[in-house]
């Protein structure tokens, strides 16, 4: 009789729950080997490890230190029954010992959790560098193109220089009162906004790549009232590269935004037509 993987997973869950009721197992204080899922440190991945994870998840016992790290086999920063089930599947050869998240929702959750984990560190040094470049496709005055003015306009858009920034957070806050949780919450994303997501092992963590759906915004006359613009439309694309460590914290975040702006405005009776592409790359390096 053939048993589907889904049915096998259900059977494993039932066995685990029965074991929780009948077998009292104490968590080990130290793990001797770096084997993902080997929570009790005996060099094997088996149902005993899964049981420790499940008992931690339902608060019957608590894992700390190395056992806690070993228990988070799916590296989402949360210890729960999903980790216990993966450990059981590893023990019977149904899954590799270092599974990586593959579903878009899981990968986005991994990224968002890494933001939270980084913000919660007792000490964090964050280095930020920003680079912006603009290319003018069209710049017209009353419908006429002027190469010299186009060059001046492009240079003016590129003239801003961005200084590198270094922030030191102690217990989630800088001396100037910047809150890490508030800063990183602006970088969190919804899986619904993500077009593609990949996660590949990188060192003892992951390299996560996210591409968001393009966003097109056209402003109405009411939106532009008093601004001097007659029309304004922008198309924005965002790509994110995040590198995490074995503790689910960010080590590198590369936030790349690129898009196009088309606009018309009237300045001192002269109609200005603009069409330009803009790229912005913000790279953050994390040290703990």
Per-residue confidence (pLDDT) for residue 78, from 0 to 100: 83
| Rounded-to-integer distance, Cα 279 and Cα 274, Å | 16
Phi, psi of 187 (to 5 degrees): -95, -10
- Please give, one letter per residue, the 3-state secondary structure of 16-60: HHHHHHHCCCCCCCCCCCCCCCCCCCCCCCCHHHHHHHHHHHCCC
DSSP 271: E
Read off the DSSP letter of residue 124.
E
Of all helices (H) and strands (E), which one includes residue 202? Answer: strand 194-202
**Residue 107 and residue 197 in contact, taking contact as beta carbons nearer than 8 Å:** yes
Q: What residues contact 90, with CB distance under 8 A and at least 6 apart?
A: 37, 45, 73, 96, 97
How high is the pLDDT of residue 146?
Answer: 84
Return d(Cα 107, Cα 186) in angstroms, integer: 18
Choose among 264, 239, 270: nearest CA to 253.
239
Of 242, 268, 272, 273, which is closest to residue 255 (Cα–Cα)? Answer: 242
Report the relative pairing of strands 229-244 and 205-212 from DSSP bridges.
antiparallel
| Residue 286 near residue 244, CB atoms below 8 Å | no
Determine if the pTM surpasses 0.75. no
Give the pLDDT score at 268: 81
Which of 232, 231, 233, 229 lies closest to 266 in space, CA to CA?
229
The residue whose two tokens read 């994110």 is 240
Using alpha carbons, list the distances in angstroms from residue 169 to 22, 52, 115, 123, 282.
46, 34, 14, 6, 19
Across the 288 residues of the chain, what is the mean pLDDT of every consecutive 10-residue run?
42 47 42 68 86 88 87 80 84 65 88 95 96 94 89 89 94 95 95 96 91 94 86 96 94 97 89 94 97
Q: How much is the pLDDT for 27?
A: 40
How far is residue 279's CA from residue 152's CA, in Å, rounded to a whole number? Answer: 19
- List beta partners, residue 239: 211, 256
Which residue, 124, 121, 153, 123, is CA-closest to 137?
153
Would you state the torsion angle of the CA atoms of residues 230, 212, 246, 37, taken in this order, to the nearest 10 degrees?
150
Domains observed in the chain: 5-91 (1.10.1330.10), 107-287 (no CATH)
């Amino acid at each position: 009789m053939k048993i589907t993987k889904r049915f096998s997973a259900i059977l494993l869950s039932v066995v685990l729950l029965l074991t929780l009721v009948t077998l009292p197992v104490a968590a080990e204080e130290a793990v001797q080997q770096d084997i993902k899922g080997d929570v009790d440190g005996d060099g094997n991945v088996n149902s005993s490890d899964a049981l420790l994870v499940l008992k931690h998840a339902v608060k019957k016992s608590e894992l700390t230190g190395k056992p806690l790290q070993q228990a988070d086999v799916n590296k989402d920063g949360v210890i729960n029954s999903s980790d216990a089930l993966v450990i059981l599947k590893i023990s019977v050869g149904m899954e590799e010992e270092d599974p990586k998240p593959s579903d878009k929702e899981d990968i986005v959750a991994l990224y968002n959790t890494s933001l939270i984990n980084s913000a919660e560190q007792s000490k964090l040094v964050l280095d930020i560098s920003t680079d912006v470049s603009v290319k003018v496709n069209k710049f017209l005055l009353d419908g006429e193109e002027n190469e010299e003015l186009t060059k001046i306009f492009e240079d003016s858009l590129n003239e801003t220089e961005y200084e590198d920034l270094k922030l030191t957070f102690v217990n989630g806050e800088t001396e100037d009162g910047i809150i890490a949780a508030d800063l990183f919450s602006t970088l969190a994303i919804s899986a619904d906004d993500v077009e593609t997501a990949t996660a590949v092992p990188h060192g003892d963590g992951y390299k996560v790549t996210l591409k968001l759906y393009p966003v097109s915004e056209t402003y109405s006359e009411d939106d532009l009232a008093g601004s001097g613009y007659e029309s304004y439309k922008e198309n924005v694309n965002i790509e994110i590269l995040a590198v995490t460590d074995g503790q689910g914290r960010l080590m590198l975040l590369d936030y790349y935004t690129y898009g196009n702006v088309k606009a018309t405005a009237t300045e001192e009776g002269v109609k200005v037509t603009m069409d330009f592409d803009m790229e912005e790359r913000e790279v953050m390096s994390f040290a703990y």
